[in-house]
Each structure stands twice: as structure tokens, then as C-alpha cells.
Amino acid sequence: MPLHEKIAYYPLADCYVLNATRDGLNLSPYEYIVCRQGGRKMDEALGISADSPWTSILVVSEFVGCSPSLNRAIRVNPWDFCVMAESLNVALYMPESESYRVLSLPPNFKKLSTGHIVSAYKKTKRRVVCLDYDGTLVPQASLDELPGCEVNSVLNNLCSEPNNTVFIVSSKGKNSLGELFVECENLGIAAEHGYFIRWNGISNWETSPLPMNFSWKRIAEPIMRLYTESTDGSFIEAKESALVWNHHNADPSFGSCQAKELLDHLFSFCHPVTVKRGHQIVEVKPQGWSKGLVAGSFDYDRYAEPTGLRDKLPRSLLAPSAKNEQGHVLRGRYK
């Protein structure tokens, strides 16, 4: 197919699949990403609003030369039909917030200034503030450290405002988060990506009502155990809703190589799970569950009835985060 015809098709395709069994540095995925960036004339031709983000999904064979550089693509073994089928299913039904991940920021992206945030904060009367713990309140390199006195002071000041609802959102377990923020009695906590929610220090932990199937743990944990035995300094964090292989204390180079190999190994699952590589971790969790769903799933009506805050349900939301998972989901609920 001539190049000009391929370039015409690329913007129309929601997903690009490269399932070659052997190839060199194939540039087609990069061409696809560039063409999916859009532009004024492209938006007009396709009838797309200029404010709408362009999304892109790549399903790439692990045997092609460009696979290592496309670190957010879905990698597959083209010889494994089960994996191919599952990967295509994931790609076709992937939510917009996830499919946005392989593209750069859109041209209309604007960094919020402190003055703009303060002005918007003062204008609103009822607010929800969701703070990402991992990489926002605490740098990624020091996630094991306790939040400092300054962090606790800021959180307590925010929580002391009667019209504020403040939540910490984290992938950490509920027990460790409860201990980290024991000094913040009015702070809400969403642990394990929101699988557990606690509205304040005196309320009980609530478990997500969404049905979850954790049978995949019986397969994932033995695989992680093999990599733990062969990687000094690594360990497994067994959470109730997820499994995390952590190589923070391992040799950086060897740990990174082992993480990539483990990631590819876990991708071979034919189970409804999400396998994700983070900062010195590899995480397996139920498919479709992320921090971005937390604020959108808060049951404010249920909370307002017993606390007498029916007239104080939120009308604005601020979600500072080191990731982009939360913003896409929240736009649909908070205009």
C-alpha cells in the first residue's frame, strides 16, 4: 500500500496492530502515533471537536525491534492465539482514559497556575480535593518515608474547612495508609486504588461493591515468587485487590531487566486483569479498576444522609496527581 494511502487510514483507526513474528525497527507504529495527533484541518475533515483528545492504542508483537521503545503499548506474543484474542478484546473495549496513554499531551493542554487554582477555590462553596499520595504528596524515590509535619499540617488545614471533603488516593494498603495519616482525623482515604474507602479517622473501612474475581492470584503469585527467588532484594506485596512485585532494593539494572521479563510473562494471562509497570514495581490488578474511578464512584448521597450534609454535596473538584488516570473520569461527573 502506498505511504499516502496508509497516512490517510491512520487517523481513522482507533487501534493499530503489529503482529509480525520477526521484524527490525518498524516505523509504522510511530507513523500511526504522529498521524493520530490530529490538527485543525484533520479535526474539521473528521468532524471532531478541537477540544476532544485524540486517543490511540497500539498492540505490538514482542518480536519487533520497536517494541521496547513503545513502553505503553500492549505487547503480545503473536504465536499465542489466546493472548492475541484477549489483547484485541482489551484494545477494543479500553476506556478513553487508558487509550489516551500512548499519545503526548494535546495542543490545547494548559498548565494550571497557582493563582488560577486559588481563585477557583475561593469562588466555590463545596469542594472535593483528591490528592494522589504516590509521587504527589511524597516523591516516587521516597515512598517508604512518612509524610512530614508540613504535609500533615496542610492536610489538616484543608480538612478543617467545613465545606471541604479531602481524600488521599493511593495504591497502598489500607493498614499502612491508616498509620501514615493517623494525625489527620478528618481526612478521607481511598486505599488500593479505591477498593477500600474510609471517610474519616473514626469511620469504618468500606469495600467496593463492584464484583471482583481474584482467581488470577493463584496463577500470578507463583510466577512472581519465581522472580523473587532469582532477584535479591525484591519482594511481593500481597494486597487484597492486587499483587505487586517490588524491586526497589534490588540491583537497579538487573531488577529492571527482571521487571520487564516478568511483565511480558504476566501479559500471557488469558484472564481479565491489568498488568502494569510502575516505579520499580510490576502490579497486577482487576481489569478496569484504577485511581481514576475513585472520585467518580464516591457515594456522596450515602455519606450525606447520616452526617446531615445533604446540602453540602460537592460542586467542584481538584485532583492533583502524578498520573493522568483521575482527570479523564472526573470530567464526566463534575462539570
**Tens-binned pLDDT, residue by residue, of the chain (335 aa):** 788 888 888 888 888 899 888 877 788 888 888 887 766 777 777 676 666 666 778 888 888 888 777 767 888 888 888 888 888 888 887 766 555 555 555 556 667 788 888 888 888 888 888 888 877 777 665 555 677 788 889 999 999 988 888 888 888 888 888 888 888 889 999 888 888 889 888 889 988 877 778 889 999 999 999 999 999 999 999 998 899 999 988 888 898 889 989 988 888 775 778 888 888 899 998 876 766 666 665 555 544 444 444 444 445 556 555 455 554 444 444 44
Can you give the length of the chain in residues?
A: 335
Q: Is residue 15 part of a domain?
A: yes
Q: Is residue 130 part of a domain?
A: yes
Question: What is the CA angle 162-168-174, rounded to 5?
Answer: 120
Q: Is residue 133 part of a domain?
A: yes
d(CA 243, CA 5): 45
d(CA 201, CA 192): 17
Q: Is residue 109 part of a domain?
A: no
Q: In this structure, are residues 124 and 168 in contact, taking their beta carbons and an 8 Å threshold?
A: no
Q: Is residue 107 part of a domain?
A: no
d(CA 169, CA 64): 37
The CATH number of whichever domain residue 224 belongs to comes to 3.30.70.1020
pLDDT at 54: 64
* H or E element in which residue 271 lies: none
Indicate the residue type of 119: S
Structurally, the chain folds into a number of domains equal to 3
The range of the structural domain enclosing residue 234 comes to 217-286
pLDDT at 53: 62
d(CA 295, CA 278): 22
Identify the sign of the CA torsion 42, 48, 49, 52: negative
Question: Is there a single domain that holds both residue 201 and residue 59?
Answer: no
pLDDT at 307: 45
The CATH number of whichever domain residue 79 belongs to comes to 3.40.50.2000
Q: In this structure, are residues 199 and 186 in contact, taking their beta carbons and an 8 Å threshold?
A: no
> Does the predicted TM-score (pTM) go above 0.95?
no
Q: Is residue 108 part of a domain?
A: no
Question: Is there a single domain that holds both residue 124 and residue 180?
Answer: yes
What are the phi and psi torsion angles at 114 (to 5°)?
A: -60, -40
pLDDT at 171: 83
Question: Is there a single domain that holds both residue 96 and residue 10?
Answer: yes
Question: Is there a single domain that holds both residue 13 and residue 127?
Answer: no
Question: Is there a single domain that holds both residue 14 and residue 92?
Answer: yes
Question: Is there a single domain that holds both residue 316 and residue 206?
Answer: yes
